[in-house]
Amino acid sequence: MQAAFPQTVKHLPPTIERLNELAANLWFSWNHEALQLFAQIDPVKWAASGHNPVRLLHDLEDTQLAALSTNTEFIASYHQVISAFDSYLNGTTWFQKTYADRGYAQIAYFSAEFGFHESLPIYSGGLGILAGDHTKSASDLGIPLIGIGLLYKKGYFTQKIDASGGQQSELYPYDFAKLPIEPVIHNDQQLTVSIDMPGRTITLQVWQVRVGRNPIYLLDADHEANQPADKELTAQLYGGNQDTRIAQEMVLGIGGVKALRALGVYPNVYHINEGHAAFLTLERLKELLHLGLPFHVAVETVRSATVFTTHTPVPAGHDTFSIEMVEHYLGPLLQELSRHKQEIVALGLDHHSGQFNMTHLAMNTAGMRNGVSKLHGQVSREMFKEFHGHIDASEVPIGSITNGVHLDTWTAPQWKELFDRFLPGTWREEQANQHQWQQVEVIPDESIWKVHQQLKDDLVRFTRQNLLEQRRRNGESEERIQEVRQYLNPKALTIGFARRFATYKRANLIFNDLYRLKKLINDPERPVQFIFAGKAHPADYPGQELIREIYRVSQMKEFVGKIVMLENYDMNMARYLVQGVDVWLNNPRRPLEASGTSGQKAAMNGVLNFSVLDGWWEEGYNGTNGWAIGSTGAADWATQEKENTHAIYHILEKEIIPLYYNQGALPHQWISRMKRSIQSLSPTYNTHRMVQDYTEKAYLPTAERARLFVTNQYDVATKVADYKQFIRNNWYHVQIIGIDDRSAKLSTEVPLHEIKPSMKDVTAQIHFGPIWPQDTAVEVIYYEEHGDSWEQKIISMEPIGELIEQQQSFKATIPSHLVHGPHFSIRVRPISANFAHSFELSLVTSTLSWQ
């Protein structure tokens, strides 16, 4: 057994000893006063630590600590922060007040990455930042949530841009003793769990991150008992090949469940945040099978307690593995459950590709599924339409909960100070209350513009420093180094573009017409400047080429100092950007941006969005709170490219630039649009609203269903599983054997303009075989035109007469002009009060020709 973890907590004087506790809880990362407290200890060491308070305290000299312990000004600030920390941890929460009777709910949130703060670099981009913001709001709201993730010893990667614009990726092992994490201690040893791999066992150490009220547990394979290659499984985020990926996902899913059990935790909600963690369902299946449950009952039990969120709007973005690879890596589990090997593999089988698809595994084992914006929900329903049989995409059981961002993390302190002064005193606790945000209207324009200009000045200084360090490291001339001190004009219209550099995000779209761009940027009366930042995955060479292209354009004499490319985009840089630019540019190929959240962060800081109507912006844009880059409906890529390019330049030239420079003493019209943006977007696109939605729409219904399914020795789970099995085995008996579609006649004595739509009765004769008719829904399906789209209408048919020889008639009233076949169809589908959604069983008998 590994020796007890060496305690490296810094010994502090009694008067400031709780600094260790404060440093070990990421609450500090979204509390400005706590951050300021650490910054004032030693500003130089604070910056050098990467804003990591654990490392800061570790690196302090005893003389510095002694001086702090007697510094009355520091002690006063210390007590103020500690008091706020205690009040936060012990205060009554939204969940306690709203759901006092739901104390039984316990959510386990599994994610491959978490972006809490730059001091804990175990994130790569949007998915991780979202997971971090999700857990912060869960803490703020008092949601009983535990996170499960991986502790990457080398993080993602540090990005450096060389003198030719090439991305250089570097990995640095982090010293866990100097991170805001703690080992989980059990019997004086660091807690470990193990998972079985082909021919070996891998030992995983368990670490804890405190995020306000809630713990996040991280698994680490760098243990002395493991082989060298296995120690590297949690070395790097999204590193390695397919073998590394499937092993990492086993560590996350299977190891994560084992860690919960070792901690004595048995949640009734398991939230799979993207398909990476879907193997957790197989570990839970194994547990239930070992209890003696039949396989189909175990699957229903797992499904009753599982929520799945998909973030990927294209099939290629979902993790897939060959069946042979899955059978190899899951070999020990499949051997242990050999009777059910084929059934287990079938849970993830994509019949079209013949591959094992992690999203299919999650879909088959989750009772609740959702996308991350309304548009992404639609795209996901279309994508997985065939997965659910021949039904309209609108009925595919995938909902949507639009992403948000953690307001306290991303909103500048200066803005929060303004909100404290002019918004109701409860605005922080009730961020999703639209009414409170209307008070933004009364904030003086002068105050808003002063805050915005301060943040813009901060961004310009930060940008120049980033470029200085970049050029020094690249060994450039002193002249080249010093010239960046004049880069960017704090008074010029500044447009930001910062995100992961994937080709579909089209970072270079603005460069499609360099001649036109040159005129915009170099207008002496109304200049425009651009700041770019972002990482491309080390294996994404087209993404890296985009970085090189932007760098090349930035070095052209027409654009020097007016287009810049920053290096090593992280959460710290993101805050400067989303708080300091005037406009946030986003131009992905629609509909490939599932949600996007960087623009939401910008909006909370009065930055105006200029974006393609994709992801969250498709529902957030209202015509007055930013600008939309439009294109024709379902335009192909080439048409989108042409139309989007035209829209970007046209809107910049005709709307954005004139509005910004229509100033006088103050740009009142621009500030008015800033106010509209904050008022309309802040209350909706924050993670408080998002997590409340998850709680009310997914977590609590799932927790209740999970409890119901396991009571009385899994009685309901057994009934549902047996019912489904019976229906599947006998559905072939269900047939529509007759339809009476007599048309109603219109009176010729009534003038045409007075004719009201007439109705008619339609009847259908259904043969059910051994299936009870009341276990089915019989419906008429037709479509009505609404604008430029057609909306499905569903009319329930009611039984008439007696059930004779397993046949019964049903009747419905529909518009008389509809004719069976061309205009409407009749379908039969199974139903149950215990189903989580209408199409939990993908079985439909219909009169449509393709059935």
Please say if the pLDDT value at position 591 is more than 60. Answer: yes
Q: What is the mean pLDDT of residues 716-721?
A: 97
Residues 22 and 34 sit within 8 Å (Cβ to Cβ): yes
The residue assigned the tokens 């969940």 is 95
Q: Which CATH number fits domain 734-846: 1.10.1060, 2.60.40, 2.40.50, 3.40.50?
A: 2.60.40
CA distance linking residue 562 with residue 517, whole number of Å: 11
Contacts of 730 (CB under 8 A, 6+ apart): 769, 770, 771
Q: What's the pLDDT score for residue 563?
A: 98
Q: What is the mean pLDDT of residues 113-117?
A: 97
Confidence at residue 756, expressed as pLDDT on a 0 to 100 scale: 59
pLDDT at 651 over 80: yes
Q: What is the pLDDT of residue 633?
A: 64
Quick one: pLDDT at residue 742? 79
SS3 letters across 48-91: HCCCCHHHHHHHCCHHHHHHHHCCHHHHHHHHHHHHHHHHHHHC
Whether domain 104-400 has CATH 3.40.50.2000:
yes
The backbone torsions φ and ψ at residue 206, rounded to the nearest 5 degrees and listed phi first, read -110, 125
Q: List, in order, residues 6 or more apart from 663 with CB less than 8 Å away.
A: 670
* pLDDT-based confidence at residue 1 (cuts at 50, 70, 90): very low
> DSSP letters of 317-329?
GS-EE-HHHHHHH
Pick the closest to residue 48 from 580, 578, 572, 414 (CA basis).
572
What tokens were used for 534?
A: 């972002």
C-beta separation of 681 from 604 below 8 A: yes
**pLDDT given for residue 680 in this prediction:** 97
**Interaxial angle between packed helices 72-90 and 32-41, expressed in degrees from 0 to 180 and rounded to the nearest 10:** 150
Give the mean model confidence (pLDDT) for residues 230-247.
92
Q: How many residues belong to the chain?
A: 851
Please name every residue paired with 586 in a beta bridge, in sequence order, or none if there are none: 611
Q: In the predicted model, what is the mean pLDDT of residues 618-638?
A: 88
Alpha carbon distance 549, 554 (integer Å): 9
Please state, in angstroms and rounded to a whole number, the distance separating the CA atoms of residues 185 and 399: 40
Residues 6+ apart with CB under 8 A from 813: 759, 760, 761, 762, 795
Q: Which CATH code is given to the segment(s) 411-418+444-682?
A: 3.40.50.2000
Structure tokens at 835: 């189903």
Cis peptide before 770 (omega within 30 of 0): no
Structure tokens at 430: 């009730």
Equal CATH topology for 104-400 and 411-418+444-682: yes
Percent of the residues in the chain that have a pLDDT greater than 70, as a whole number:
97
Return all residues near 109 (Cβ < 8 A) that are at least 6 apart. Answer: 131, 134, 135, 138, 145, 146, 147, 148, 271, 273
Mean residue pLDDT of the chain comes to 94
Give CA 793 to chain center in angstroms. 32
State whether residue 793 is helix, strand or coil: strand
**Which amino acid is it at 263?**
L
Distance CA 156, CA 167 (A): 14
pLDDT of 681 reads: 98
Give residue 91's identity as a one-letter amino acid code: G
| Residue ranges covered by each domain of the chain | 14-90, 104-400, 411-418+444-682, 734-846
Give yes or no for residue 56 having a pLDDT over 60: yes
Model confidence pLDDT, tens digit, residues 83-93: 999 999 999 99
What is the pLDDT, as a whole number, of residue 749?
Answer: 54
The whole-number average pLDDT for the span 242-248 is 96
Q: Would you say 776 and 830 are in contact if contact means Cβ atoms under 8 Å apart?
A: yes
Give 147-178 pLDDT, tens digit per residue.
Answer: 999 999 998 899 999 999 999 999 888 888 89
pLDDT at 387: 87
State the Cα–Cα distance between residues 329 and 344, nearest whole angstrom. 13
Give the DSSP H/E element, type plus range, for residue 332. helix 331-336
